[in-house]
A and B are shown apart, each in its own frame.
Chain A
Amino acid sequence: MTRRILIGCGISLMLVFGLATAQDVESVSSDASLAASIAAGAEDEASRDKFRSLDQDVQELKKEVLDLNRDLFLLEEELLFPANSQVAFFISMDVGEYFELDSVNLKIDGKEVSNYLYTEREVGALIRGGVHRMHMANLKTGDHELIAIFTGKGPQARDYRRGATLTFSKGIGAKYLELEITDRVVKQQPEFVIKEWE
């Protein structure tokens, strides 16, 4: 009888041990998969970080290229148009009801320096208040004659061609001239004025 009890205890102990071992194995395998998934997550994160830093590098590089381009542009402007002898000509338009701008031709001291054709979009931008730097030049100090010829459509959509002349004195320092197209309501005609910026 005692022998039977001993055998029963032995079997139950073995069962308990067996169950415990199986649970251990299960927990070990789940630990391993957890570790693997953590490792994969870390790898993903690392690759994402790497990609992010690469993207940042590219963005920085792009910015540097843009900065360099701007510096080169400014340098080129300074070299080609030294500030002291520089003269810039701007076109502006106010309302534009009596004149539809087509082109502007500039002559300095009898020599044609620029002929600019305006597209519909450019005219629209001028009417909305934009100012266009049409031409830049280097002139000696002294008196110079500017002739600007404006062509386009005048009142009643007729072909219109008008000139404006200005004799200006170029001193030391840069000079800026604005060629302004305005509407003269009383006469129902466009007006072309050349102004010197102070």
Chain B
Amino acid sequence: MNIKNGLLAFICCALTATSLAGSGLTGQPAPDFALKSASGDNLRLSEYRGNVVMVNFWATWCGPCRQEMPLLDELYSRYERVGFTLLGVNIDDDSRKAMNMISELGVNFPVLFDDRKEVSKLYEVDAMPVTVIIDREGNVRFIHQGYKPGYEEHYLDQVRTLLRE
């Protein structure tokens, strides 16, 4: 019984570690990109150097994204004035669907459209959502694949840690 419990705990830990560790981009300079935003402006990641940046890849067909986005928006409103930026990268083919969802959820953070999927390839996005946290120096520090309730606590801790650096 004890061995079984131990094994289960090990598997759970391993799964959590995998989902939180992310890919080989961690510790590397964040690949730069420029995308058209919902406001019509083009935004380039490297222009936010000096800020802690969270890049959240999402799609309209992704349920957890819908759950996560209002929580991310709260984080954005709270820390925006102290040097935190959140860029939501939508990967739908049709940006109108994304626009509808943004207005439905009432989120305020900048949303960009990666309809050519170039940026999601650059960041090796193979799950939905994927959240990448980049430090003030422009290096990828944390990658979260997927979303489960409670992940927002990790985001909060990590963003606060990077803001303090």
Contact = CB atoms under 8 A, between A and B. Distances in A.
B41 interface: yes
A117 B36 contact: yes
Contacts of A118: 34, 42
Contacts of B42: 102-103, 117-120
B131 to A, nearest CB: 23
A116 interface: yes
Contact of B44 (A102, A103, A122): A122
A50 to B, nearest CB: 28
Interface in A95-138: 102-103, 116-122
Interface string A47-63: 00000000000000000
Chain B residues touching A, majority SS: strand
Nearest to A115: B116
A121 B47 contact: yes
Nearest to A103: B42
A103 B42 CA distance: 9
Interface size for chain B: under 10, 10 to 19, 20 to 34, or 35 or more residues?
A: under 10
A99 B34 CA distance: 20
A121 B35 CA distance: 14
A120 B36 CA distance: 12
A122 B47 CA distance: 10
Interface in A54-111: 102-103
Contacts of B162: none
A102 B44 CA distance: 13
- Among B42, B43, B44, B47, max chain A CB count under 10 A is at B42
A116 B41 contact: no
Nearest to A122: B44
Given A102-B42, A103-B42, A117 B47 contact: no
A116 B47 contact: no
B25 to A, nearest CB: 20
Interface string B20-59: 0000000000000011100001111001000000000000
B82 to A, nearest CB: 22
Contact of B43 (A102, A103, A116, A119): A119
Contacts of B36: 117
B34 A120 contact: no
Interface of A: 102-103, 116-122
Given A116-B34, A117-B34, 8 more contacts: A102-B42, A117-B35, A117-B42, A118-B34, A119-B42, A119-B43, A121-B47, A122-B44
8 contacts: A116-B34, A117-B34, A117-B35, A117-B42, A118-B34, A119-B34, A119-B41, A120-B41
